[in-house]
């Protein structure tokens, strides 16, 4: 007696069918990961906080460099590193998300309307301030330090502790051969040298 035809090309061997399904799931997972990476690269906004992400900050630095080249307007890039932030948010995703939104909101509230706040990673934020004078960047640095260290105790529901804050600022006064990534790298190097009671200042770059 003839065997009935197979359905949809499925194999009669269950182990082969399981292996085929595993391979298909793996392929789809890799494709989804690739699409997410593309989306992260294309978007300029951090979805958790609503501020710029790293890609958006690099774009903003590039525009500031172009403006500096055309109009001789310097700009400042201030870095805010919070080493204890992940530990404060370790109680769960809701606390972590609430805490990073809290910090982003504090930073956004203490900068000028033309400045842009960015979130670089789970511990680090930055503020790009175009058309800034040397006095302006010191005023902004002191304002950020005051808000985050004196007035900004983390709300009780988010951990109820003061933030450990490391600050650095890079003031860009000439274009030279700088790329946006060079300016950002200079800021991150300065942040690594910064201490809680001593902001790291790079007044010329």
For 149-169, the DSSP string reads III-BPPGGGT--B---EEEE
Task: Name the CATH architecture for the domain at 54-202.
Answer: 2-Layer Sandwich (3.30)
Q: How many beta carbons lie within 10 A of that of residue 122, not counting itself?
A: 12
Considering only 1-10, 115-124, 157-166, 183-192, which range has the smallest mean pLDDT?
A: 1-10
Q: What is the pLDDT of residue 78?
A: 93
* Across 111-129, average pLDDT: 93
Measured CA to CA, the distance from residue 134 to residue 42 in angstroms comes to: 33
Q: In the structure encoding, which two tokens stand for residue 71, read together?
A: 């109009």
Which residue, among 204, 202, 178, has the nearest Cα to 78 in the 3D structure? 202
Dihedral angle over CA of 178, 179, 185, 189, nearest 10: 10
3-state DSSP assignment of residue 128? strand
What are the boundaries of each domain within the chain? 12-42, 54-202
Identify which has the larger pLDDT, 159 or 187: 187
Task: Tokens for 9, please give them.
Answer: 């090309």
Whether 46 has a pLDDT exceeding 80, the answer reads yes
Condensed to tens digits (0 to 9), the pLDDT of residues 2-39 reads 555 544 445 567 888 888 888 888 888 888 877 776 66
Q: At what angle do helices 54-71 and 180-193 cross, to 10 degrees?
A: 110
Residue 157 banded pLDDT, cuts 50, 70, 90: low
**Cα separation, 187 vs 64, whole angstroms:** 15
């Amino acid at each position: 007696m003839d065997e009935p035809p197979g359905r949809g090309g499925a194999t009669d061997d269950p182990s082969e069918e399981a292996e085929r399904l595993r391979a298909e799931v793996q392929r789809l997972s890799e494709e989804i990961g690739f699409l997410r990476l593309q989306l992260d690269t294309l978007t300029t906004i951090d979805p958790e906080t609503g501020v710029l992400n790293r890609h958006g900050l690099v774009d903003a630095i590039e525009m500031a460099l172009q403006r500096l080249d055309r109009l001789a307007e310097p700009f400042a890039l201030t870095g805010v590193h919070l080493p204890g932030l992940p530990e404060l948010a370790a109680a769960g995703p809701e606390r972590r998300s609430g805490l990073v939104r809290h910090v982003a909101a504090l930073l956004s509230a203490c900068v000028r309307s033309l400045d842009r706040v960015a979130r670089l990673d789970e511990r680090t934020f930055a503020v790009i301030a175009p058309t800034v004078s040397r006095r302006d960047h010191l005023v902004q640095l002191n304002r950020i330090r005051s808000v985050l260290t004196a007035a900004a105790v983390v709300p009780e529901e988010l951990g109820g502790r003061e933030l450990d804050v490391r600050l650095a600022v890079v003031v860009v006064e000439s274009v030279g051969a700088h790329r946006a990534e060079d300016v950002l790298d200079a800021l991150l190097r300065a942040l690594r040298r910064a201490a809680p009671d001593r902001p790291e200042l790079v007044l010329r770059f």
